[in-house]
């Protein structure tokens, strides 16, 4: 029988061990896993757990956060004050490549928060540096066989210390090696390449080290460093050009399970690899294979349902890098759609992805075309903050609608959805 151990608000240093058929008073230590809600008729409700109790342990296993709770019994029907059941962990690094350090002042406060939380790596796919992991937490990852995504950047310990601005950055690589060598955990790695720093020979060594691990790494993504126009008092970094992008791809393409981001191919003015190259698309969220998957989904719909008949005029706005690729897709469909490549005046023209386009840039650059946009303006949903109809600069979709006097629809980066919008 599973046991829930909870401490009530008015029990002053004592806890009630609650099971389906027993109540026993027993001393326990205080913790902050306070229960916000007990779902009606759940095992916890039937066991007598109440709102305001604090969850201490399950079957003798101490519960310190959401991962413990999920592993030892998340079907009890308990809800807590926070998703993680504890505070989110702040990044302790001062990375020379940090994008948040390149944000302009005056934006929403939450945009400046830097997380480096291993729990979010497992739960939401976030990448972590490993610098604030303890040996106990590494042991838990191995025991629970948790998936983890790691920002490696380099396996040269001294260089990693320099790049992450943390004296523990080099030794923290041992956590990665320990997890990989134990097996059972799915490990994905990311390398943000900075020309002149961790490219060339260093990139070759990093990829050789990672691909040589006994149980291997599930996948490795190589992405170009993102630079904005707000880099005052930060380490000078060089942007990629066609030559340096081609040189990086030459190294990357020597290895299996190592993928370059779409952006790197576009910078190199190279054709993207075939759809089959990406397998199960393990690095999709890192911008790896997004365009090929979009094309595949779109072509399937086009083959099945045919070209757009009697197309009504629409427009689509996206980032500079993806615009030509998407324009070719639209052209094949017979749709009457104008593609607008939006330059990033807010962050700087070196930023070319759709996900960093602001509402102000969108409005300013489309206003001259206001009377030629057709009946609807499509934008990638990545332009908007997750779960909100708001751009990074707090301009809303409604603001764009009012300024341009046109219906605005956010479309997921999904070829089938894009095709559906064209024909309807």
The CATH number of residue 317's host domain is 3.40.50
In a domain, 210, yes or no: yes
Q: Write down the pLDDT at residue 6.
A: 46
Where does a domain end: 224, 259, 287? 287
Q: What is the pLDDT along the chain (424 residues), one digit of tens a residue?
A: 344 444 444 333 333 334 333 332 222 333 456 787 888 888 878 878 788 777 777 777 777 766 677 666 666 777 777 665 555 555 788 999 988 888 887 777 666 556 554 444 444 447 888 898 888 888 888 887 888 889 999 999 999 999 999 999 999 999 999 999 888 888 999 999 999 999 999 999 999 999 998 777 899 999 999 998 888 888 999 999 999 999 999 999 999 999 999 999 999 999 999 999 999 999 998 999 999 999 999 999 999 998 888 788 999 999 999 999 999 999 999 899 999 999 999 999 989 999 999 999 999 999 999 999 999 999 999 999 877 899 989 999 999 999 999 999 999 989 999 999 888 7
Shared-domain flag, residues 283 and 306? no
In a domain, 93, yes or no: no
In a domain, 91, yes or no: no
Q: Write down the pLDDT at residue 276.
A: 96
Shared-domain flag, residues 128 and 172? yes
In a domain, 417, yes or no: yes
In a domain, 19, yes or no: yes
Shared-domain flag, residues 307 and 402? yes
Where does a domain end: 259, 287, 315? 287
Q: Write down the pLDDT at residue 17.
A: 39
Q: Which domain holds residue 393?
A: 293-423
pTM of the model: 0.80
Shared-domain flag, residues 153 and 184? yes
In a domain, 413, yes or no: yes
Shared-domain flag, residues 116 and 26? no
Shared-domain flag, residues 305 and 283? no
Shared-domain flag, residues 12 and 135? no
Shared-domain flag, residues 197 and 325? no
Domain count, the chain: 3
Q: Write down the pLDDT at residue 73.
A: 65
217, 188 in Cβ contact below 8 A? yes
Interatomic CA distance for residues 410 and 238, integer angstroms = 33
Shared-domain flag, residues 53 and 185? no
Shared-domain flag, residues 179 and 211? yes
Shared-domain flag, residues 107 and 241? yes
Q: Is the dihedral of CA 390, 395, 396, 400 positive or negative?
A: negative
Where does a domain end: 287, 310, 336? 287
Interatomic CA distance for residues 120 and 80, integer angstroms = 17
In a domain, 381, yes or no: yes
CATH number of the domain enclosing 233: 3.80.30.10
In a domain, 89, yes or no: no
Shared-domain flag, residues 402 and 302? yes
Q: What HEC string does 304-326 produce?
A: HHCCCCCCCCEEEEEECCCHHHH
């Amino acid at each position: 029988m599973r046991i829930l151990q909870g401490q009530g608000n008015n029990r002053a240093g004592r806890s009630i061990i609650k099971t389906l058929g027993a109540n026993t008073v027993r001393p326990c230590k205080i913790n902050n896993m306070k229960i916000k809600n007990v779902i009606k008729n759940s095992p916890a409700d039937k066991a007598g757990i109440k709102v305001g109790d604090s969850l201490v342990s399950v079957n003798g296993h101490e519960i310190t956060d959401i991962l413990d709770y999920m592993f030892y019994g998340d079907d009890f029907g308990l809800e807590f004050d926070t998703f993680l059941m504890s505070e989110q962990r702040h990044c302790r690094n001062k990375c020379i490549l940090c994008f948040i350090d390149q944000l302009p002042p005056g934006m929403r406060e939450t945009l400046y928060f830097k997380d480096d939380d291993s729990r979010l790596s497992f739960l939401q796919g976030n990448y972590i540096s490993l610098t604030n992991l303890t040996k106990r937490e590494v042991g838990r990852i191995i025991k629970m066989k948790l998936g983890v995504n790691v920002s490696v950047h380099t396996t040269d310990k001294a260089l990693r210390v320099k790049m992450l601005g943390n004296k523990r950055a080099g030794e923290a690589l041992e956590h990665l090696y320990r997890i990989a060598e134990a097996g059972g955990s799915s490990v994905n790695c990311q390398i943000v390449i900075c020309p002149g720093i961790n490219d060339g020979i260093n990139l070759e060594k990093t990829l050789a080290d990672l691909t040589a691990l006994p149980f291997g790494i599930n996948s490795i993504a190589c992405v170009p460093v993102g630079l904005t126009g707000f880099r005052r008092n930060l380490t000078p970094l060089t942007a990629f050009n066609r030559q340096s992008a081609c040189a990086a791809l030459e190294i990357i393409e020597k290895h299996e399970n190592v993928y370059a981001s779409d952006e790197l191919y576009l910078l190199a003015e190279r054709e993207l690899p075939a759809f089959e190259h990406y397998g199960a698309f393990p690095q999709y969220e890192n911008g790896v294979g997004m365009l090929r998957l979009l094309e595949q989904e779109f072509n399937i719909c086009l083959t099945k349902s045919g070209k757009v008949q009697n197309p009504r005029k629409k427009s689509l706005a996206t980032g500079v890098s993806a615009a030509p690729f998407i324009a070719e897709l639209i052209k094949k469909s017979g749709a009457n759609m104008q593609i607008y490549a939006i330059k990033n005046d807010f962050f700087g023209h070196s930023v070319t992805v759709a996900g960093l386009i602001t509402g102000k840039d969108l409005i300013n650059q489309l206003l001259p075309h206001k009377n030629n946009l057709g009946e609807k303006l499509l934008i990638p949903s990545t332009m908007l903050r997750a779960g909100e109809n708001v751009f990074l600069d707090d301009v809303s979709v409604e603001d764009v609608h009012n300024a341009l006097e046109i219906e605005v629809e956010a479309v997921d980066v999904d070829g089938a959805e894009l095709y559906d919008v064209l024909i309807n």
